[in-house]
Amino acid sequence: MNLIIDVGNTFTKIGVFDTSEIIYKEIVKLEGLIPQIEKVKKKYPLLKNAIISSVSDLPKSSIVHIKALFNTIVVDHLVEMPFTNLYKTPKTLGIDRLALVAAAVDQFPQKNVLVIDAGTCITYDFKNIKEEYLGGAIAPGIRLRYSSLNNFTAKLPLLTLKDPENTIGNSTEEAIHSGVINGILHEINGVIEEYCNIYSDLTVILTGGDAHFLSKRLKNGIFATSNFLLEGLNYILVFNNSR
């Protein structure tokens, strides 16, 4: 059994895998990580291995505590990956993006795959049929776009996620909702179309915190999954422990 810890920009996800099947999942704030892991350890005494992915500031004391409980891999750019990384600046590549590509390799081997992770940022990551990671793109996510309109203008209000009533916003609030949501939908559809022009047999995965909201509004033919990053981390852990 494997313990998967994904420390994101906003929340931390904890998952327990029995081989390749996720049997437990919890989302906590960073300060609640260690108490929750203690509970998980008691609930699943057979847990032996763990992997940590962090794109935020995980305290060293927390890492030390986890390493004392499990055989632990902390993902960095020196950890072996199940694909060839052709990114020109691998040391600047987000750990979460590595995990998403690993999941694509595991679940869609020898296929051209575009993974779209809709969270704080929207990331686009592509691996080809040769299991080569070529790179992708990074764009602001939904909440970043709302907050940017508020922070960098004098009078625009800070709004929260809402489906626009019309394409043509007939008030300032509706215009913001239309601009943010429709802008993102057109962006994602446009990126997919560009990739499809190059790779006609493209598989598209949509994941991340806003995947459920966006998937119902995007074109068909997209696989939406909420656990793709955790599954990728589990595969990295299994891949390294089998070497």
Binding-site members for substrate are 87, 94-97, 172
The sign one gets for the Cα dihedral 195, 197, 199, 204 is positive
Residue 76 CA to residue 126 CA, distance in Å, equals: 19
Which residues are documented as binding site?
6-13, 87, 94-97, 117, 120, 172
76 is a catalytic site residue = no
Indicate the pairing of strand 203-207 with strand 132-140. Answer: unpaired
The answer to whether 53 and 6 have CB atoms below 8 angstroms apart is yes
Residue 69 CA to residue 140 CA, distance in Å, equals: 37
Pair of tokens at residue 147: 């907050």
Q: At what angle do helices 95-107 and 228-241 cross, to 10 degrees?
A: 80
79 Rama sector, left if φ>0, alpha if ψ -120 to 50, beta otherwise: beta
Which residues are documented as binding site for ATP?
6-13, 120
Catalytic residue among 18, 57, 76, 96: 96
Which residues are documented as binding site for K(+)?
117
73 pairs with which residues across the strands? 51
Task: List active site positions.
Answer: 96
